[in-house]
Amino acid sequence: MHDFFKYLTPGEQDISWGLYLNVAGKAQILPGVPYPNPLHPAGYYFTWEKGRVLNEYQLTYITQGSGVYETATAKYQVGPGSLLITKPGVWHRYQPHLKTGWEEYYIGFNGPIAGMMLNNPCFASLVPLSQVGNRGEFIDTYYKIFDYVKEEKPGFQQVSAGMVMKLLGYLIAFEKQRGLSETPMEQVIQKACFLIRENIEEDIDFQQFAEEKGVGYSNFRRMFKKYTGLPPVQYHLHLKIMRGRELLLSTDKMVKEISWELGFQSVYYFSRAFKKVTGVSPTEVRSNPTPPPFGKGKEKADFLTKIDQP
């Protein structure tokens, strides 16, 4: 997904829902580039010297690069997998290091439900920066929010609010599981899942990935399947198809456009893969948005086996 940001104007019904979005965006800040982007409105733009105070909650997820995040009482080092949690009325400032830059995903939201959740005792022990790591479920939720925000179809605020609550739920679940033992292979698999989700539309060389992580490909592939239920290539294809289905249902993009966006070599191969995995064609899923999920038994299994070649 290319860089973008969008500022929203919630309506009366959106505000009465109890949780509504004000802004969402993604940006790749290259090394040496001034920060923040001067195109942001006055209420969001800030200088390092003055910092800023927001009247909303923000969750900013850093997936690459490094930098610093400061409040009036503390200073935090930011790295890949840092989630910056900013509350209304709190002075803060942050920026990437000039030598590294960073990649950021962010959402700004407000409402009484947002306040109730983020002031819940579950969040009381959280510092403004949580090291959640590069986690696929986090990045996937941001992408889903971005899809709804870009289209702004009726009800997008309510659906997006649900995605924000889901993201907060993931954060609490992670904090509760923090400290539980993970084997080195589990960490490699989690990194692979994150890599796939952040690069769904790209080709990924899993043998090279395993080599870079210092593990044998055969063992990595076997353990990945044990951990996720699918070998890495099949897992990648499944996410492509799931992403395609979301785009078919949440946007007005043509099938050909979605096929190209997801990195398929042709619309024919996308349609064939989509039907093999889901049981229906891309055009059928728009006329019947609740088809049997991922059905077709042996036919599907045979197809996935053919594409799962190292």
Evaluate if residue 292 carries a pLDDT over 60. Answer: no
Q: Are residues 198 and 64 in the same domain?
A: no
* Mean pLDDT (whole number) for 74-80: 95
Evaluate if residue 285 carries a pLDDT over 90. Answer: no
Convert 41-76 to b/e letters by CB count within 10 Å (16 or more is b).
eeebebeeeeebebebbbbbbbbbbbbebbbeeeeb
Other residues' Cβ atoms within 10 Å of the Cβ of residue 124: 8
CATH code assigned at 216: 1.10.10.60
- The per-residue pLDDT for range 198-214, each reduced to its tens digit, is 888 889 999 999 999 99
- The per-residue pLDDT for range 143-182, each reduced to its tens digit, is 999 999 998 999 999 999 999 999 999 998 888 777 655 6
181 contacts 37 by C-beta, under 8 angstroms:
no
pTM for the structure as a whole: 0.70
CATH code assigned at 137: 2.60.120.280
Q: Which of 177, 204, 236 is the last residue of a domain?
A: 177
Evaluate if residue 43 carries a pLDDT over 70. Answer: yes
- The per-residue pLDDT for range 301-310, each reduced to its tens digit, is 555 554 554 4
- The per-residue pLDDT for range 214-258, each reduced to its tens digit, is 999 999 999 999 888 889 999 999 999 988 988 888 888 899 999
Instruction: Determine the pLDDT at residue 310.
Output: 42
* Mean pLDDT (whole number) for 102-107: 96
C-alpha span between 255 and 278 (Å, rounded): 15
The parent domain of residue 252 ranges over 184-307
Q: Which of 162, 177, 192 is the last residue of a domain?
A: 177
Partnered with residue 92 across adjacent β-strands are: 52, 71
Q: Are residues 162 and 262 in the same domain?
A: no
Structural domain total, the chain:
2
Averaged pLDDT score across all residues of the chain: 87
Q: Are residues 48 and 133 in the same domain?
A: yes
Instruction: Determine the pLDDT at residue 109.
Output: 97
- Cα→Cα distances 229→129, 162, 224, 284, Å: 32, 27, 8, 27
